[in-house]
């Protein structure tokens, strides 16, 4: 079996020699004729100055930030999102003059990268580029904001102040202003239209139907002219909302 280790006998206390006489607490004096012993205390070394390193790296980082920040901001506004301010009342009462909006551009950017058309959903509010609105300068552009009513391949009519859309799902037609949530604020729609939306285009109308220059007058718009879709109103704060 295992062997236990145990102490053998009581512990012994080591004995030290005792001084010849009692300790009086007096300092020890050197013997007569002996040179006095002097204690030498060396002064502490002064702290070494810290070496400054990476000065040029910090400067280079600052220069890079100054150069990259504007490029990053421009890339975001060009390809991701951008702030817009409403100018006019063609979209009232949904949007008002001077409202500050956020327009989402990622779907448009992705469609261009993948070489296909960006077709928004029916009812989306979009910003797009329109040319030929200025007399004498057909190349001058203007950005407009309207609502998507009809999609590629659909027939759309405006008759007796009512918008009707015909497609494969609804060959007899349906009324987007009545079936979609936005329609509760839409008044009657003046005009006479009967057209089929070409491939790669959408038909848009402003919510203020009596005061909006839109596809009823200039036709459907190409998907390539779409800038982005409305996702939020940020100002005024009292009317801030997500779309």
Q: Which of 90, 105, 212, 229 is catalytic?
A: 90
Q: Which of 96, 105, 130, 146 is catalytic?
A: 146
Phi, psi of 47 (to 5 degrees): -60, 140
Joined together, the tokens standing for residue 217 give: 């007058």
CA–CA–CA angle 48, 54, 60 (5° rounding): 155
Three-class DSSP labels, the chain:
CCCCCCCCCCCCCCCCCCCCCCCCCCCCCCCCCCCCCCCCCCCCCCCCCCCCCCHHHHHHHHHHHHHHHHHHHHHHHHHCEEEEECCCCCCCCCCCCCCEEEEECHHHHHHHHCCCCCCCCCCCEEEEEEECCECCECCCEEEEEEEEEECCCCEEEEECCEEEEECCCCCCCECHHHHCHHHHHCCCCCCCEEEECCCCEEEEECCCHHHCCCHHHHCCEEHHHEEEEEEEEEECHHHCEEC
Which residue, chain included where needed, has tokens 């009545």? Answer: 178
Catalytic residue status for 146: yes
Catalytically annotated residues: 90, 146
């Amino acid at each position: 079996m295992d062997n236990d280790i145990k102490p053998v006998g009581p512990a012994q206390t080591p004995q030290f020699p005792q001084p010849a006489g009692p300790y009086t607490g007096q300092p020890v004096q050197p013997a007569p004729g002996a040179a006095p012993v002097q204690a030498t205390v060396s002064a502490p070394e002064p702290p070494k100055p810290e070496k400054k390193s990476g000065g040029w790296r910090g400067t280079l980082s600052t220069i890079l930030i100054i150069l990259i920040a504007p490029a990053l901001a421009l890339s975001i506004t060009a390809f991701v999102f951008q702030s817009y301010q409403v100018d006019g009342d063609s979209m009232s009462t949904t949007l008002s003059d001077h409202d500050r909006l956020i327009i989402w551009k990622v779907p448009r950017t992705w469609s261009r990268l993948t070489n296909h058309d960006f077709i928004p959903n029916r009812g989306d509010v979009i910003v797009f580029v329109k040319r030929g609105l200025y007399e004498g300068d057909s190349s001058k552009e203007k950005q407009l904001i309207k609502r998507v009513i009809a999609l590629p391949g659909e027939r759309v009519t405006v008759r007796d102040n009512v918008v009707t859309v015909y497609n494969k799902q609804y060959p007899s037609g349906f009324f987007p202003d009545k079936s979609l949530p936005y329609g509760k604020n839409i008044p009657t729609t003046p005009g006479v239209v009967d057209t089929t939306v070409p491939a790669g285009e959408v038909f848009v109308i402003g919510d203020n139907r009596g005061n909006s220059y839109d596809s009823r007058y200039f036709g459907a718009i190409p998907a390539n002219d779409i800038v982005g879709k409305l996702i939020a109103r940020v100002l005024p704060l009292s009317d801030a909302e997500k779309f």
